[in-house]
Amino acid sequence: MNCTTLLPRHIALVAAVAALTAVPPSTAAAQVSNDVVKVGVLTDMTGAYSDLAGPGSVVAAQMAAEDFGGKVLGKPIVIISADHQNKADIASNVARKWFDEQQVDAIADLVSSSTALAVMPVAAEKKRITLLSGPGSTPIEGEKCTAYNVHYTYNTYSMAAGTGRAVVQQGGNSWFFITADYVFGKSLQGDTAKVVTASGGKILGDVRAPFPTTDFSSYLLQAQASGAKIIGLANAGADTINAIKQANEFGLTKKQNLAGLLVFLSDIHSLGLSTAKGMYLTTAFYWDRDEESRKWSKRFFERHKKMPTMVQAGVYSELMHYFKAIQAAKTDDADKVMAKMKETPVNDFFAKNGKIGPDGLHRHDMFLAQVKSPEESKYAWDYYKIAKTIPASDAFEPPDPSCPLVKK
Integer Cα distance of 341 and 352 in angstroms = 15
Pick between residue 82 and residue 108 the one whose CB is nearest to another protein.
Answer: 82
Contact 82, 42 (CB under 8 A): yes
Nearest approach in angstroms of CB 105 to another protein is: 18
Report the alpha-carbon distance of residue 6 to residue 379 in Å, rounded.
48
Specify the residue, 36 or 207, whose C-beta has the smaller distance to another protein. Answer: 207
The span of 106-114, 330-338, 385-393, 396-404 binding another protein (CB under 8 A) equals 106-114
Residue 50 CB partners (closer than 8 Å, separation 6+)? 43, 44
How close are the terminal C-alpha atoms of the chain, in Å?
13
**Which of positions 347-386 make contact with another protein (CB under 8 A)?**
none
Pick the binder of another protein from 112, 133, 163, 297 (CB under 8 A).
Answer: 112
Interface pick for another protein out of 18, 33, 73, 85 (rule CB under 8 A): 85
By C-beta, is 82 or 341 nearer to another protein? 82
Least separation in angstroms between residue 342's CB and another protein is: 23
Site for another protein in 6-45 (CB under 8 A): 45
CA-nearest of 39, 4, 58, 33 to 304 is 58
Among 242, 256, 293, 297, binds another protein (CB under 8 A): 242
Please select the residue that binds another protein; options are 87, 304, 330, 385, rule is CB under 8 A.
87
Does 92 bind another protein (CB under 8 A)? Our answer is yes
Query: Within a 10 A sphere around the Cβ of 225, how many other Cβ atoms?
Result: 11
Separation between Cα atoms, residue 386 and residue 281, nearest integer Å = 10
Residue 69 interacting with another protein (CB under 8 A): no
- Can residue 238 be called a binding residue for another protein (CB under 8 A)? yes
CA angle, corner 241, sides to 173 and 167, nearest 5?
Answer: 15
Q: Verify binding: residue 233, another protein, rule CB under 8 A.
A: no
To the nearest whole angstrom, how small is the minimum distance from the Cβ of residue 143 to another protein? 10
Least gap, CB of 400 to another protein (angstroms) = 16
Distance between CA atoms of residues 171 and 347, nearest Å: 34
Q: 109 — phi, psi (to 5°)?
A: 80, -85
Phi-psi region of 193 (alpha: psi -120 to 50; beta: other; left: phi over 0): alpha
Q: Which of 88, 204, 328, 387 binds another protein (CB under 8 A)?
A: 88
CA dihedral 144, 149, 153, 157 (to 10 degrees): 20
Q: What is the dihedral of CA 112, 118, 119, 125, to 10 degrees?
A: 160
| Residue among 132, 130, 181, 186 at smallest CA distance from 156 | 186
Which parts of 244-303 interact with another protein (CB under 8 A)? 245-246, 249-251, 266-267, 269-272, 275
Under rule CB under 8 A, residue 232 binds another protein:
no
Rank residues 152 and 219 by Cβ distance to another protein and give the closer one: 219
Q: Which stretch binds another protein (CB under 8 A): 17-25, 86-94, 194-202, 339-347?
A: 86-94
Number of Cβ within a 10 Å radius of residue 32: 21
Residue number, 73 or 90, with CB nearest to another protein: 90
Q: Which is nearer to another protein, 250 or 301 (CB)?
A: 250
Single residue of 25, 27, 214, 375 touching another protein by CB under 8 A = 214
Stretch that binds another protein, among 203-211, 283-291, 349-357, 395-403 (CB under 8 A): 203-211
- SS3 assignment, position 180: strand
3-state secondary structure of 77: strand
CA dist 215 and 389 (Å) reads 34
Among 195, 241, 262, 368, binds another protein (CB under 8 A): 241
Distance of CA 240 to CAs 53, 179, 310, 377, Å? 17, 10, 17, 22
In the complex, the smallest distance separating the C-beta of residue 309 from another protein, rounded to whole angstroms, is: 11
Looking at residues 130 to 189 of the shown chain, list those that interact with another protein (rule: CB under 8 A): 137, 139, 144, 181-184
Q: Which stretch binds another protein (CB under 8 A): 221-229, 321-329, 362-370, 377-385?
A: 221-229
Q: In angstroms, rounded to a whole number, what is the distance separating the alpha carbons of residues 270 and 337?
A: 39
DSSP 200: T
Least CB distance to another protein at residue 23 (A): 21
Q: Is 217 in the site for another protein (CB under 8 A)?
A: yes
Q: Assess 86 for contact with another protein (CB under 8 A).
A: yes
- Does position 73 bind another protein by CB under 8 A? no
Any contact of residue 53 with another protein (CB under 8 A)? Answer: no
